């Protein structure tokens, strides 16, 4: 399958005006229903734990366009770039074809150094609101 028409610029950025916190209840409700139905039991792994995979992702980047929520990065030459990034985690299991996405966490300017955010000691930052 090939993508032939991905939409106009205006349609692609339609969600820009939606605060990330406004979609959290969708993930919360989804996860609640999976818990209540006992579906998550299928994802128990070694010692009755869950296997979680995490990754950071960027979904906007520019050296000219920015907003108050943009992350700002300056390279050694003084060039400034702006971006939006998230931390996304999923429940997974080696025997299951499906993954279960957890609430994405927006990486904000107030989170401190990006390198620190992705360190092992920052792993706990992501989970209190998700599991």
Question: Which tens digit of pLDDT belongs to each residue from 69-122?
Answer: 788 888 999 999 988 888 889 999 999 999 999 988 888 776 555 555 554 444
12 in any annotated domain? no
More confident residue, 56 or 10: 56
> Half-sphere exposure of residue 8, counting CA atoms within 13 Å on the CB side?
2
- Mean pLDDT over residues 54-78, rounded? 86
- Residue 40's alpha-carbon distances to 2, 6, 16, 46, 53, in angstroms, are 34, 34, 32, 14, 15
Domain of 115?
A: 18-126
Domain tally, the chain: 1
Q: Please report whether residue 11 resides in a domain.
A: no
Whether 131 is in a domain gets the answer no
Question: 106: buried, middle or exposed (CB in 10 Å: 19+, 13-18, 0-12)?
Answer: middle
Q: What pLDDT, on a 0 to 100 scale, did the predictor assign at position 113?
A: 56
Q: What is the pLDDT of residue 128?
A: 47
8: in domain: no
Residue 115 forms part of a structural domain: yes
Could you tell me which residue, 126 or 108, shows the higher pLDDT? 108
Confidence of residue 3 (pLDDT cuts 50, 70, 90): very low
In a domain, residue 10? The reply is no
> For 1-28, what is the mean pLDDT?
62
Residue 9 lies in a domain: no
Rounded percentage of the chain residues whose pLDDT exceeds 70: 69
Check if the beta carbon of residue 39 is closer than 8 Å to that of residue 59.
no
Q: Specify the higher pLDDT residue, 18 or 49.
A: 49
Per-residue model confidence (pLDDT) at position 1: 45
Domain presence at residue 13: no
pLDDT at 11: 47
| Model pLDDT, residue 58 | 85
């Amino acid at each position: 399958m090939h993508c032939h028409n991905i939409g106009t610029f205006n349609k692609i950025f339609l969600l820009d005006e939606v605060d990330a916190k406004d979609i959290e209840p969708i993930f919360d409700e989804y996860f609640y229903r999976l818990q209540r139905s006992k579906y998550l039991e299928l994802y128990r792994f070694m010692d009755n734990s869950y296997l979680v995979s995490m990754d950071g992702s960027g979904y906007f980047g520019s050296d000219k366009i920015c907003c108050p929520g943009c992350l700002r990065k300056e390279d050694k030459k003084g060039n400034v770039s702006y971006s939006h990034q998230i931390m996304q985690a999923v429940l997974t299991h080696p025997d299951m074809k499906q993954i279960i996405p957890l609430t994405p966490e927006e990486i904000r300017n107030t989170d401190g150094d990006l390198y620190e955010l992705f360190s092992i000691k920052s792993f706990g930052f992501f989970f209190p609101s998700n599991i």
